[in-house]
Amino acid sequence: MKKAFVTGITGQDGSYLAEFLLHKEYEVHGLIRRSSTFNTERIDHLYHDFHTPDTKLFLHYGDLSVSGQLMDLLHSIQPDEIYHLGAQSHVRVSFDMPEYTGDVTGLGTLRILEAIRKTGIKTKFYQASSSEMFGAASPPQSENTTFQPRSPYAAAKVYAYYIVQNYRDAYGLFATNGILFNHESPRRGETFVTRKITRAATQIKLGLKNKLFLGNLDAKRDWGFAGDFVEAMWLMLQQDKPDDFVIATGETHSVREFTEKVFSKLNLDYNKYVSVDPRYFRPTEVDILLGDASKAKKALGWKPKVTFDALIDMMIATDMELAKKEKTLLDAGFSCNNSERLT
């Protein structure tokens, strides 16, 4: 039985990846942060008390800003594969917390690589690199495109990308960068724009809310489904040699188009409900991301399965159920928080 160690297991991608690996009979070890509220909602359906026989998912407290403990964990688990997904992953928030983002998103990768090097464990390492690294570069963007990062988040990811390549060259580690374009799902955090839109539109449909404030409606992104993208992460670690791969759908759509589509699927006119609030603008914007994943298609045999339309339908369906539950609670006299968030 193979063992995997997953940082960021409580996040969107971590939860899909944990499902995928458990299905493949891996023993999965996840790093989780101590929090005063529960932060394991996305993986609760996978977790069984560790006293249960045949348990294959184990969770360990830790933090990417602390190196010694990462070393102890890797030494005791001895994973065959490491999927490093943990990060301060919100681009807009990285402008508010640049130092923290550099520490966790940039140096966090170095801490794990150092833990691998110092413990001497034999393992394969996956780094969650990001299309945000391309920033202002002209589309389509591929493995050969020069990075032009436009945020503290993207700059931290560029550092992590190059330190992965350096540890591969300097120490012969099997270390791989997956340069993933945006990927969404019903499990996307609610402050990320796609989920913010599907959450608000379904609440508006049921009369729970009457306004949605967004930032730059003209930004264009290459949006895929997170469930498809985690398969690509796994495929990268099944290769004989480490390499770097772009993973994308090869389609780009504006935030306006996403919004218009979501509202019209609910028979609503988005113009009546959506307002632009400059508070959500980034100091430096990324206008267009459009990935060329032909290398991954050829070498990994990977291609996306879920279309843009099907992704939107999936997100609307889940958020409509959530909105219905909120409405039931409200109708029964309970309060429910649907106020605007900071991001």
Residues belonging to the active site: 130, 132, 153
Give the Cα separation of 247 and 304 in Å (integer): 9
| Residue 189 binds ligand NAP (CB under 6 A) | yes
List the structure tokens of 47: 């977790």
Residue 23 CB neighbour total at 10 angstroms:
8
Q: Which of 289/316 has CB closer to ligand NAP?
A: 289
Residue among 100, 99, 108, 115 nearest 129 (CA): 108
Residues 54-83 interacting with ligand NAP (rule: CB under 6 A): 63-65
Contact 155, 103 (CB under 8 A): no
Alpha helices in 208-307 (DSSP H): 226-237, 255-265, 294-300
Residue among 254, 246, 249 nearest 270 (CA): 254
Q: Which of 192/327 has CB closer to ligand NAP?
A: 192
| Residue 177 binds ligand NAP (CB under 6 A) | no
User: Smallest distance, Å, CB 139 to ligand NAP?
Assistant: 16
Cis amide prior to 140 (ω within 30 degrees): yes
**Which residue from 8, 149, 152, 227 is in contact with ligand NAP, where contact means CB under 6 A?**
8
| Residue 11 binds ligand NAP (CB under 6 A) | yes
| Residue 323 binds ligand NAP (CB under 6 A) | no
List the structure tokens of 46: 């996978």
**Which residue from 88, 94, 141, 203 is in contact with ligand NAP, where contact means CB under 6 A?**
88
Give the Cα separation of 291 and 141 in Å (integer): 5
Residues 100-159 interacting with ligand NAP (rule: CB under 6 A): 104, 128, 130
Q: Which of 84/209 has CB closer to ligand NAP?
A: 84
Contact residues: ligand NAP, CB under 6 A? 7-8, 10-14, 31, 33, 35, 39, 63-65, 85-89, 104, 128, 130, 180, 182-183, 189
